[in-house]
Amino acid sequence: MPWRAPAAAELQPVATTRQLTFTLPDVAGAAVVLESARGRAVLVHFFATWCEPCREELPALERLALRARGAVNVLAIAVAEPDRRVQKFLETTPVDFPVLLDRDRAVAKAWHVVSLPTSFVLDADLKAKFIVESDYAWDAVDAGTLASASAMAAGGLTAIKPINKRDSGG
C-alpha cells in the first residue's frame, strides 16, 4: 500500500455525501468524539511519526490553529503507531491541538486514507469539503477563510486562497 501521494498538493473538493465520524483516544487516553467539534470548521490530519513530511507539517498546523483563534479545530490522528512512540514524538514536537491514536487504522480505513499525510477540511456541520493527500503549505492558508463555512459552501478551490504577503505583514 503506498503511503505517499505525488508531490502536487492541492486542496481538492470532496465528492462524498456519507457522514464521516469517529471516537478515538487522545495520547492521554481520553476519548475524543468528532461530533463534539460541530459548530466550527475542523481540519482532520492523518499522519505518522516516521513520515518526514508529516513531521514538518504538524508545526505548520499549530501555527494555522493559532491564526484561526479557535475558529478552526485541528485534530491530528496518528495512524497505526504505538502510543509511546507518539508521546515521545510530541515531547520534541509539541502541539496544542488534540493528537489522537488510530491504533488499528480503523478510522483511516473508514475515511479511505491511502497515503500519509492526508488532511480533510470539514465545515461546521462536519461535512467533508476538501481533502489533500500529501503535505500542504498550511502557512499559506488564510485561517479566517478556512474557518468560514459559507466560503466552503460556495464551492471550488478558490474558496481557500493563499495569504497575500503584503496584506499579512509577511
46 contacts 119 by C-beta, under 8 angstroms: yes
Compute the distance between CA of residue 60 and CA of residue 64 in angstroms, rounded to an integer: 6
Q: How far is CA 56 from the centre of its chain?
A: 13
- Res 152: pLDDT: 57
Beta strands in the chain (DSSP E): 12-13, 23-25, 31-33, 41-47, 72-79, 99-102, 118-122, 128-132
Compute the distance between CA of residue 16 and CA of residue 91 in angstroms, rounded to an integer: 36
How high is the mean pLDDT of the chain?
A: 84
pLDDT in tens, 114-162: 999 999 999 888 999 889 999 999 998 888 888 775 355 554 444 444 4
Read off the pLDDT of each residue in 15-38 and give the average, rounded to a whole number.
91
Which residues face 122 on adjacent strands?
42, 128
Q: In this predicted model, which residue has the larger pLDDT, 161 or 35? A: 35
Q: In this predicted model, which residue has the larger pLDDT, 151 or 95? A: 95
**What is 20-163's CATH number?**
3.40.30.10
Read off the pLDDT of each residue in 74-90 and give the average, rounded to a whole number.
97
Read off the pLDDT of each residue in 19-36 and give the average, rounded to a whole number.
95
Assigned C-alpha cell, 50: 516516521
Q: In this predicted model, which residue has the larger pLDDT, 145 or 83? A: 83
Is the pLDDT confidence value at 2 over 50?
no
Compute the distance between CA of residue 157 and CA of residue 134 in angstroms, rounded to an integer: 16
Is the pLDDT confidence value at 99 over 70?
yes
Judged by average pLDDT, the poorest of 20-24, 56-60, 159-163 is 159-163
Give me the residue spans of the domains in the chain. Answer: 20-163
pLDDT band with cut points at 50, 70 and 90 for residue 3: very low
Compute the distance between CA of residue 118 and CA of residue 35 in angstroms, rounded to an integer: 20
Distances from the Cα of 74 to the Cαs of 10, 133, 166, in angstroms?
Answer: 18, 16, 26
Collapsing DSSP to helix, strand or coil, 11 comes out as: coil
